[in-house]
């Protein structure tokens, strides 16, 4: 999801954004966003999902959640996947993610507090 | 996998999952020798199986799974590009060392891809791990360490765009 960089200014902006994203994600917060990055997840686009979460969480000013990665969850057909762990321990597993879905999840779930039922994995 | 940066990401993830606290990544291009080498070393507990088992796609240490495709897919891609892949012990860090090599100009070599984003996503989501990245292009070597990685992202991007 990273756009093609065509100038030194864009390089610098991307680096500064990355530093801001890292600062934002220091430590483990009450709410945790964990992207599954096993071989299946990576092949399905998990790296872009992480990058989009970084960008969207930063843009939305989310400071109450931290971003992490883990391996395969055993639901390879649902990759790329992310699990949001709420402060009370409730797990929300989202599957078949793309850039637009991540945007919606950040706005509705992380900012608004309402899980996006349509993207949750039904088991 | 579409490109080498995704294989690299997968191998780094293996190290993280094994509990490594130090991970060293190397990408080395030698245009004169027509070679490209990618290495990942860690200070984790080391291979729990033989290298032969680690490269077997139908062997995995993960509970509940029957396949372990990451290393075997990477080896297949390297071999298709005139190279190979080895797994062993890191002499410097004490954990696992994965080394893949291939022909830089081989028509079957996958593109390098977005190494910068692969590194950045792992750094951002595993802040307890100390990452080091060495980029070599002929006689030029760029070393990036830990917290400076985000600021040095342009060096990573410039390197990968010089190789593609």
What is the C-alpha separation between A78 and A95, in angstroms, rounded?
5
pLDDT at position B58: 76
Across the range A88-99, mean pLDDT stands at 96
List, in order, residues 6 or more apart from A71 with CB less than 8 Å away: A36, A37, A38, B13, B17, B62
Residues of A with CB below 8 A from B122's CB? 69
Beta strands B130-137 and B22-30 are: parallel
| pLDDT tens-place string over residues B51-103 | 888 888 777 766 666 566 789 999 999 999 999 999 999 999 999 999 999 99
From the list B62, B121, B158, the residue facing A50 with the nearest CB is: B121
Residues of A with CB below 8 A from B6's CB? 42-43, 47
What is the C-alpha separation between B71 and B56, in angstroms, rounded?
8
Spell out the domains of chain A, with CATH numbers in brackets.
28-119 (3.40.30.10)
Domain containing residue B111: 4-163
Beta-carbon separation of A69 and B153 below 8 A: no
Higher pLDDT, B1 or A65: A65
Token code pair at residue A62: 């989310």
Across the range A108-112, mean pLDDT stands at 95
What is the number of helices (H) and of strands (E) in chain A? 4, 4
| pLDDT tens-place string over residues A7-44 | 656 655 666 666 566 555 556 678 999 999 999 999 99
> Which DSSP symbol is given to B139?
T
pLDDT at position A32: 93
Our CA-based measurement puts residue A116 at a distance from the nearest CA of chain B, in whole angstroms, of: 23
Angle subtended by helix axes B115-125 and B153-163, to nearest 10: 150
Token code pair at residue A1: 């999801």
Q: Output the average pLDDT for chain B.
A: 89
| pLDDT tens-place string over residues A63-82 | 889 899 998 888 999 999 99
pLDDT at B147 over 80: no
Across the range A86-107, mean pLDDT stands at 96
From the list B6, B69, B117, the residue facing A2 with the nearest CB is: B117
ipTM for the predicted complex: 0.83
Cβ pairs A/B, distance under 8 A: 84
Q: Cβ-count burial of A82 within 10 angstroms (0-12 exposed, 13-18 middle, 19+ buried)?
A: buried
The CA dihedral of A50, A56, A61, A64, to the nearest 10 degrees, is: -40
What is the C-alpha separation between B8 and A65, in angstroms, rounded?
27
- pTM metric for this prediction: 0.85
Q: What share of chain A is helix, strand, coil (3-state, %, to 5)?
A: 45, 15, 35
Please give, one letter per residue, the 3-state secondary structure of B64-100.
Answer: CCCCCCHHHHHHHHHHHCCCEEEEEECCCCCCEEEEE
Confidence band for B145, pLDDT divided at 50, 70 and 90: confident
| pLDDT tens-place string over residues B5-33 | 999 999 999 999 999 999 999 999 999 99
Q: How many domains does chain B have?
A: 1
Beta-carbon separation of B152 and A15 below 8 A: yes
CATH of the domain at B86: 3.30.565.10
What is the C-alpha separation between B139 and A55, in angstroms, rounded?
36
Beta sheet of B130-137, edge-to-edge order: B84-89, B96-103, B35-42, B22-30, B130-137, B140-145
């Amino acid at each position: 999801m990273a756009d093609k960089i065509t100038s030194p200014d864009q390089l610098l902006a991307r680096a500064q954004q990355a530093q801001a994203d890292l600062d934002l994600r220091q430590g483990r917060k009450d709410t945790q966003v964990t992207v599954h990055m096993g071989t299946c997840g990576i092949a399905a686009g998990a790296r872009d999902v992480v990058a989009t979460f970084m960008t969207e969480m930063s843009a939305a000013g989310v400071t109450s959640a931290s971003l992490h990665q883990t391996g395969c969850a055993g639901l390879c057909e649902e990759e790329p996947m992310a699990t949001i762990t709420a402060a009370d321990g409730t797990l929300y597993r989202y599957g078949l993610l793309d850039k637009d879905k991540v945007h919606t999840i950040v706005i509705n779930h992380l900012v608004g507090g309402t899980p996006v039922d349509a993207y949750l994995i039904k088991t | 996998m579409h490109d080498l940066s995704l294989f690299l990401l997968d191998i780094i993830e293996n190290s993280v999952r094994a509990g490594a606290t130090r991970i060293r990544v190397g990408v080395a291009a030698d245009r004169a020798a027509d070679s490209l080498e990618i290495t990942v070393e860690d200070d984790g507990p080391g291979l729990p199986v033989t290298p032969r088992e680690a490269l077997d796609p139908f062997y995995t240490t993960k509970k509940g799974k029957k396949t372990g495709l990451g290393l075997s897919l990477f080896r297949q891609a390297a071999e298709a590009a005139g190279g190979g892949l080895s797994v062993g012990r890191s002499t410097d860090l004490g954990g696992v060392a994965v080394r893949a090599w291939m022909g830089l100009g081989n028509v079957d070599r996958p593109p390098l891809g977005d190494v910068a984003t692969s590194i950045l996503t792992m750094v951002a989501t595993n802040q307890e791990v100390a990452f080091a990245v060495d980029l070599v292009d002929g006689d030029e070597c760029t070393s990036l360490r830990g917290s400076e990685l985000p600021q040095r992202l342009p060096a990573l991007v410039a390197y990968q765009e010089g190789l593609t």
